Amino acid sequence: MTNRTYNGADYIVEPMSGDRLLAGVRTRRIIAFLIDAVLIALLTFGVGVLVFFLGIVTLGLGWLLYPILWPVVALVYCAFTMGGPNSATVGMRTQGLEVRFLDGSRMNPGIAAIHAVLFYASVSLLTPFIVLVALVSDRKRLLHDLVLGTIVVNRS
């Protein structure tokens, strides 16, 4: 355990582990991913409508944004939800989860964007194997969590 000072008072930072913090995380993390995928699809559709009208105004040049629409919307969504004050995407919040660093601190939007890029890269390259990593790793962490030193825990 580490002692830290906050506003002049000492407090103890406990490591991010324990049965209470990790109970049911894997299953709820999968459900949260599905909820987030639906929300990202809806957001992408909405932005796609805007890009359609942008394409009309720009005589077709705006339509060149369509191929990068899904990745950009997903990246912005993950960066500002996981890197925000709740430390969780909307799907994670519905499942009672949040992402933290191993010392208990929250992510900023830049690190959350890197987390999302590593997640989508690992999913596209190692789809069935990333779940196996969570089965054998300590604290039910996935590959991108191990790389960045993050953990998904139950909200306290």
| 39 vs 111: CA distance, rounded Å | 21
Q: How confident is the model at residue 10 (pLDDT cuts 50, 70, 90)?
A: very low
Q: Of the given ranges (117-121, 123-127, 140-144), which has the lowest mean pLDDT?
A: 123-127
Question: Could you tell me the pLDDT band of residue 13, with boundaries at 50, 70 and 90?
Answer: very low
DSSP assignment of the chain equals -EEEEETTEEEEEPPS-SHHHHTTHHHHHHHHHHHHHHHHHHHHHHHHHHHHHHHHHTTTGGGGGGGGHHHHHHHHHHHHHHTSTT-S-HHHHHTTEEEEETTSPPPPHHHHHHHHHHHHHHHHHHHHHHHHHHHHSGGG--HHHHHHTEEEEE--
Length of the chain: 156
Quick one: average pLDDT of 108-135? 88
Q: Which residues of 38-47 are buried (b: 16+ CB within 10 A; e: fewer)?
A: ebbeebbeeb
Q: What is the mean pLDDT of residues 114-126?
A: 90
Residue 148 has pLDDT above 50, yes or no: yes
Beta bridge partners of 43: none
Q: Model pTM?
A: 0.83
Question: What value does the mean pLDDT take over residues 132-142?
Answer: 84
Which one has a higher pLDDT value, 99 or 23?
Answer: 99
Which residue shows structure tokens 């709740």? 86
Mind listing the pLDDT tens digit for each residue in 24-73?
898 999 999 999 999 999 999 999 999 999 999 999 999 999 999 999 99
CB-facing half-sphere around the CA of 88: CA atoms within 13 A: 21
Break the chain into its structural domains and give their ranges: 18-154
- Averaged confidence pLDDT in the chain: 87
- pLDDT of the residue at 134: 83
Q: Which residue has the tokens 């506003």?
A: 7
